[in-house]
Structure 1
Amino acid sequence: MRLLQALFFPPEQPGGVSSMIPYMQDRFSSSRWEMEMFWLPRRLRNKGREDIVFDTFDWTQYAQSDIVQKYIQTYRDYIWWTRMRIQQPHDLIHAHHPIAGLALKHVFPNVPLIQTIHSSYERELVLNERIEENGLEHQFLVSLYRELELKSERLITVSQSFAGYISSFVDHPELINVIPNGFDEKRFKPVPHENEVPQLVCVCRLVPAKGLDILFKACAELKKRGHDYVLHIIGDGPFREELEALAQELGIYNETIFYGYTLHPEEFVPFFDIFVLPSRAEAFGSVFAEAALSCLALVGSDVGGISEQIEDGVNGLLVPVEDYVALSEALEKVISDPSYRYELARSAWEKAKSHYSLTHVVNELKKMYLQFDSRKSEE
């Protein structure tokens, strides 16, 4: 069976998709399976000239938005690149971005499409103050959900929470499948270590949606209470300068290390003690599963896919969104009690191994893929 895994970003880009898809290839290297990856090169711009028509809505009512126009042009470019590079159709296409799925279905209308929606781009743009809620761009992006539903043989989301979110934008929410991201157990694994001072780590893009301002305020509270810690911030983004200034203002700059973008954080994350990320929205929260497989204690906001991964007090701690006092109290619990911290980390590791390992997720995907295989034989 010839599979095409269609991405938008090149696989070296940060994010849950890049942590999973490239590492699936060796799981499909057999006489039964053949898997290829495809994406739009970052430097490819303004090549497509296709007239764009959606079957479920008229996109031109949003055409006065520059963001919408850029999205449409990227869609045209993806179609152009697909026609340039893919000559033979595959047996099945599994797309991991709306542009990728719609473009490939446009070029190969008779090839079954499985579409995974990994995150709510419109919610992130609203939280990051790039677009206005219910504005033209927001309306355009949520309209794409029904178009994806029409064009896909299977629509997948990465959490029950996110499936619930998009249910109001589609006609048949009961048909949405939920398959979380999976992570290679060989890449994310515990490393025995001892840290005299508790080491907190956060891996994310530095944007308002991730709630790092809340984390910094919580860490300032910890310092006021006399707790020693080091906070490691791994990632980069447009919010970095503001965060560095906030760390200075709150008096925690000396306790905070900014790494910038790091290609393989899994190589040193296992040497830390506590993973913390108080996101304002999160469809799944891949970094929590990665940290759990590295056997770190988890502290996160009670939102989206995070609260599906963490059972409060069992395999991590959940705090209300925007509540830096509650976050500081949760961090105080795991900082001041190493035994409790280890119990949470061990439970998180066990759940992640059974639910979010790449082996488990690939097996689920293979079952789905075989439903579209004309030969219908097991590997």
Structure 2
Amino acid sequence: MKILQAMFFPPEQPGGVSSMVPYIQENFKKIGWDMEIFYLPKRIRCKGSEEIEFATFDWEKYKENEIVEKYIQTIKDYTWWTKLRLQQTYDVIHAHHPIAGLVMKKLFPDTPVIITIHSSYENELLLNHKIKASDLSHAFLTSIYRELEFHLDGIITVSKSFKAYLSKYVENEESIQVIYNGYDFDRFRPITHDNHIPQIISLCRLVPAKGLDILLSACAELKKRGHNFVLHIIGDGPIREELEQKAKEKDVYEEIIFYGYMLHPEEFIPFYDIFVLPSRAEAFGSVFAEAALSQLALVGTNIGGIAEQIDHGKNGLLVPVDDVPALTNALEELVVSPNYRVELARNAWEKAKSEYSISRVINQLKMIYQNNVQY
């Protein structure tokens, strides 16, 4: 069987889907399936000019919106690049971005095209203060989900909570399948270590949606309570300078190390003790699974896919979104109790090993591909 994995970002980009798809390809090749990865290079901009039409709504009523115009141009560019580069046929195409899904079905109408929707672009824009829920761009982006349902042969998403979110914008929510992300366990090697001062790590793109402002405030309170710790922040983004300034104002700059972007953070994560990310939204939250596989104690917000990964008090701690006192208390509980954080870390590792294997994803996708293939 010949499968095309149609991505948007290149595989080397950080993030759950970009890091997972190459491992999917590798594992399918082991069982003799032919699989290719396709994506739009960053340098391809404003090349496409083909007119765009949707079957379920009129996009031109949103035409004057800058975000909508950019999205439409990206569809045109993806179409241009696909026509230029893909000349062969496939048994199934698996898209990993709405633009990829729509373009592939348009250009390969007789080929089954399924899509995994990994996250919500409109939620990202909302939480990062780029748009409002009343904006034309929000209405346009949420209309895309119904368009995908109309054209494509199957929709997959990464958590039950995100399926519930999508259900507001499609006609048949029961047709959406949930497949949790899977990981190659060989990438993660827990290491026995004894840190006299607790080492806390947060790994994400530095944007408002990740709630790092809340984390810095919690760390400031933790310091006021007399606790020693080091917070390692791995990642880069538009608010890095703002976060560094906030750390200075909160008098916790000396306790924090800003690393910037790191290509293979899983090589360093096992040396830390606590993973924390107070996100304001997560469809799944791949970094929590990765931290669990590195055998760290987890602290996250009680939303989305994070709440499906963490059983509060058993394999991690959950706190409400934007709740500085609750986050401070959760971190304090782990900082002062090495035995408790080791227990939580061990439980997190066991759950991740049992539920997030790449072999489980391969078996689930294999069934979906076989059910969709047209002989």
Amino acid at match of 2:258: F
Tell me whether 1:83 sits opposite 2:83 in the alignment: yes
Tell me whether 1:162 sits opposite 2:162 in the alignment: yes
Q: State the shift of 1:362 in Å.
A: 1.5
Amino acid at match of 1:313: G
2:300 is aligned to 300
**3-state SS in 1 of match to 2:53:** coil
Question: 5 Å matches for 1:39-118?
Answer: 39-118=39-118
Q: State the shift of 1:373 in Å.
A: 3.3
Amino acid at match of 1:213: D
**3-state SS in 1 of match to 2:313:** coil
**3-state SS in 1 of match to 2:185:** coil
Retained in 2: the 8 A contact 1:295–1:349?
yes
Q: State the shift of 1:133 in Å.
A: 1.2
Tell me whether 1:184 sits opposite 2:184 in the alignment: yes
2:286 is aligned to 286
1:196 is aligned to 196
Retained in 2: the 8 A contact 1:354–1:360?
no
Q: State the shift of 1:374 in Å.
A: 4.6
**3-state SS in 2 of match to 1:43:** coil
Per-residue Cα deviation, 1:268-306 (whole angstroms, up to 9, x for no partner): 111111000000011100000000011000000001000
Aligned-partner Cα distance in 2 for 1:265–1:340: 25
RMSD, aligned CA: 1.0
Aligned-partner Cα distance in 2 for 1:144–1:3: 24
State the identity as a percent. 63
1:121 is aligned to 121
Amino acid at match of 2:77: D
Tell me whether 1:240 sits opposite 2:243 in the alignment: no
Amino acid at match of 1:12: E
Amino acid at match of 1:256: I
Question: 5 Å matches for 1:214-363?
Answer: 214-363=214-363
2:366 is aligned to 366
Q: State the shift of 1:89 in Å.
A: 1.5
Aligned-partner Cα distance in 1 for 2:279–2:215: 9
Q: Which runs of 5+ in 1 are unaligned?
A: none
Aligned-partner Cα distance in 1 for 2:250–2:359: 44
Amino acid at match of 2:9: F
Q: State the shift of 1:199 in Å.
A: 0.5
Please, what TM-score do these two structures have when normalized by structure 1? 0.97
Retained in 1: the 8 A contact 2:13–2:19?
no
Cα distance change, pair 64–316 in 1 and its aligned pair in 2 (3 A) = same
Please, what TM-score do these two structures have when normalized by structure 2? 0.98
Q: State the shift of 1:31 in Å.
A: 6.3
2:33 is aligned to 33
2:14 is aligned to 14
**3-state SS in 2 of match to 1:291:** helix
Aligned-partner Cα distance in 2 for 1:20–1:174: 25
**3-state SS in 2 of match to 1:46:** coil
**3-state SS in 2 of match to 1:94:** strand
Retained in 1: the 8 A contact 2:28–2:362?
no
Amino acid at match of 1:79: T
2:130 is aligned to 130
Aligned-partner Cα distance in 2 for 1:56–1:180: 29
**3-state SS in 2 of match to 1:168:** coil
Cα distance change, pair 374–137 in 1 and its aligned pair in 2 (3 A) = closer
Retained in 1: the 8 A contact 2:307–2:318?
yes
Aligned-partner Cα distance in 1 for 2:149–2:38: 22
**3-state SS in 2 of match to 1:104:** helix
**3-state SS in 2 of match to 1:169:** coil
Retained in 1: the 8 A contact 2:289–2:309?
yes
Tell me whether 1:207 sits opposite 2:238 in the alignment: no
Aligned-partner Cα distance in 2 for 1:317–1:152: 38
**3-state SS in 1 of match to 2:114:** strand
**3-state SS in 1 of match to 2:115:** strand
2:149 is aligned to 149
Amino acid at match of 2:95: A
Aligned-partner Cα distance in 2 for 1:299–1:31: 38
